Amino acid sequence: MMNKKVAQIFNEVADLLEVKGVDFKPRAYRKAARKIKSMKADIKDHYEEGTLREIEGIGKAIEGKIEEIIETDSLEYLEELKEELPAGLIDVMKVPDIGPKSAKKLYEELDVVDLETLKEEAEAGNIKELKGFGKKTEQKILKGIEMLEEISGRHLLNEVIPLAEEMIDHIKPEADRIEKAGSLRRWRETIGDIDILATRDQEKLMEHFVQHKKVEEVLVKGETKTSVRLQGGIQADLRVVDEDSFGSALQYFTGAKEHNVPLRQIAIDKGYKLNEYGLFKKEDEEKVTGKRERDIYERLGLDWIPPELRENRGEIEAAQEDELPDLIGWDEIKGDLQSHSDWSDGHNTVLEVAEEAERKGYEYIAITDHSEGLSVADGLSREDIIEREKEIEEANDELDITVLSGIEVDIKKDGRLDMDSETLEDLDIVLGAVHSNFKMEEEKQTNRIKKAFETGLIDIFAHPTGRKIGERESYEVSITKMIDSAKNNDVMMEINASPSRLDLDSLNAREAKERGVMISLGTDAHGLNHLDFMRYGVATARRAWLESGDVVNTRSLKELRKILKGG
Ligand code: DGT
Ligand code: CA
Ligand code: CA
Ligand code: ZN
């Protein structure tokens, strides 16, 4: 779908026009962007059928721009605007608290032209002196810059994992052994670059690697390591090692560094030396082992540690004491507990979503459309829900999978739910979520959420912190109090598997488990392909040390229903 890209370009145009102080036009671009982003049809289809003008808010000028974007993948007009203004202002506007108006002011009064100058001015305390800014905004700007720095040069899992797997499949026939390494193998929530490790034949492998159609540039072609830049600007490193060292190289290049450093110390304490070539006796450098990763851990007196745990968060101690968790398996998921149909802002019918879920081998799928209050997402009223029920029943008649009738009910500012209790009680499953008023103080926000839990109507709290990776920080909330209230009110916490959310994150989900709260996985699918996101949720659960028993999606339908009823 080009919709997202077109919308993004139009928003950038609107931003820059506003910084320039142009009237009216920005609003037209924004309106078109909103429409195109939310519409269900592919903009390309309209283009091909010549029906762009039939879309609300699209006149002749914007029609031409859409055609240009579809044909050339870019927009000359945007490039011109970028040349008239400092290009870095686009980055400045990515800071959550800075819109075009603030950017204009910062540019005109403080000569802010990019993130660097913005940071300088904020650190010097000059921003708080500007009219309409203040100390709190200045602090938030600094936090926002920090968030952008953290994500800079990094990629979301859905951009990287499928690409890495494609590369691996491509070279696999030439390799004896091949594995993912680095953050990819640890399933970190964002990935800097792709690391792949393989054994022999070196030359053949490297050659095959660089010939893949998605390789845009070869950066380094060394003896043991080849680095390339792939489509989308993602870098991939292929290292080819001896079979005798494959295990130790895999251990070394999987990281994280924070895990490897104490591990090497343990080796030293036991009279060894550990590096990417193997485990060696210190006194005579005799190689003890190196072929298999598992043997290295064993020699050091540790159980083998699953890569997802290798972050130096207590896994080494646990491995020494035989107390590692028995992590939830990749294929234990019996259903998806958050998805949207075209009754709200999803792209597919109930039946289509259910069929796709059935193809995945699930026992159940929850359709959890938004509630009415969320008008931007076309939320459902009580009447809509009754209507939707017919479709759900039809799907249940037609398919083997069980479709659960659900809702993602909006939690209002004061903690009340955006739907009457009678309707909620009739549904199979109720997700509660915060979609507005992100800027409340911590205590107020926490109390709002607690109040919602105390209604006793919510089964699962969806995307509990509201963060979007690289886009928006979590709202201010006490995680611990929220978790405890969930525990007291029988509310489960979601790990939202959408790669830009992964919310709860692994640390918070681990805390939820430790405090006795059950975790639920949901992809938040708005289109069929999003149902594939489940594995990012499972990965996050594994990084959170969760076992099957901690995750409700491992339960059979019968058991799930019992839990939902009790809650
Ligand atoms: P990324 O790519 O930023 O998402 O994170 P990683 O963990 O994949 O980091 P990367 O690609 O720089 O290196 C892959 C692994 O190799 C890393 O997790 C640990 C290991 N490694 C790389 N350089 C060093 C180093 O200088 N010292 C140590 N101890 N380990 C290293
Ligand atoms: Ca890496
Ligand atoms: Ca690397
Ligand atoms: Zn939501």
CATH label of the domain that carries residue 415: 3.20.20.140
CATH label of the domain that carries residue 159: 3.30.460.10
Last residue of a domain, one of 194, 221, 240: 240
Does residue 433 share a domain with residue 284?
Answer: no
DSSP designation for 40: S
CATH label of the domain that carries residue 10: 1.10.150.110
Q: In the chain, what are the helix, strand and coil shares in percent, each to the nearest 5? A: 50, 15, 35
Give pLDDT, residue 373: 84
Does residue 533 share a domain with residue 384?
Answer: yes
Does residue 203 share a domain with residue 136?
Answer: no
Within-domain flag for 327: no
CATH label of the domain that carries residue 309: 3.30.210.10
Last residue of a domain, one of 289, 320, 351: 320
Q: Going by C-beta distance under 8 Å and a sequence separation of 6 or more, which residues neighbour residue 24?
A: none
Number of domains in the chain: 4
Q: Atom 3 of ligand 1 has which residue's CA nearest to it? A: 192
Can you give the pLDDT of all 567 residues of the chain as single tens digits? Answer: 788 899 999 999 999 998 888 888 999 999 999 889 888 788 999 999 999 998 888 889 999 999 999 999 899 999 999 889 888 888 899 998 898 989 999 999 999 999 999 999 999 999 999 998 999 999 999 999 998 988 888 999 999 999 999 999 999 999 999 999 999 999 999 999 999 999 988 889 999 999 999 999 999 998 899 999 998 899 999 999 999 999 999 999 999 999 999 999 999 999 999 999 999 999 999 999 999 999 999 999 999 999 999 999 999 999 999 999 999 999 999 999 999 999 998 999 999 999 999 999 999 999 999 998 877 777 999 999 999 999 999 999 999 999 999 999 999 999 999 999 999 999 999 999 999 999 999 999 999 999 999 999 999 999 999 999 998 999 999 999 999 999 999 999 999 999 999 999 999 999 999 999 999 999 999 999 999 999 999 999 999 999 999 999 999 999 999 999 874
State in Å: Cα 472 to ligand 4 middle.
14
Provide φ and ψ at 347, rounded to 5°.
-95, -10
Q: Atom 22 of ligand 1 has which residue's CA nearest to it? A: 253
Atom of ligand 1 nearest to the CA of 264: 29
Does residue 468 share a domain with residue 345?
Answer: yes
Q: Atom 31 of ligand 1 has which residue's CA nearest to it? A: 257
Within-domain flag for 497: yes
State in Å: Cα 191 to ligand 1 middle.
11
Does residue 439 share a domain with residue 358?
Answer: yes
Give the residue numbers spanning the domain of 73. 3-150
State in Å: Cα 411 to ligand 1 middle.
42
Does residue 363 share a domain with residue 496?
Answer: yes
Within-domain flag for 520: yes
Does residue 285 share a domain with residue 219?
Answer: no
Provide φ and ψ at 462, rounded to 5°.
-85, 150
Instruction: Determine the 3-state secondary structure of 18 from DSSP.
Output: helix
Last residue of a domain, one of 191, 208, 240: 240
Within-domain flag for 329: no
Does residue 311 share a domain with residue 428?
Answer: no
Element holding 488 (H helix, E strand): helix 479-488
Pocket test for ligand 1, best of 163, 195, 258, 305 (most atoms within 8 A of CB): 195
Does residue 344 share a domain with residue 448?
Answer: yes
Does residue 552 share a domain with residue 517?
Answer: yes
Does residue 221 share a domain with residue 75?
Answer: no
CA-wise closest residue to 93 among 83, 84, 80, 102: 102
Within-domain flag for 34: yes
Does residue 474 share a domain with residue 444?
Answer: yes
State in Å: Cα 462 to ligand 4 middle.
6
Report how far residue 195's alpha carbon sits from residue 179's, in angstroms, rounded to the nearest whole number: 9
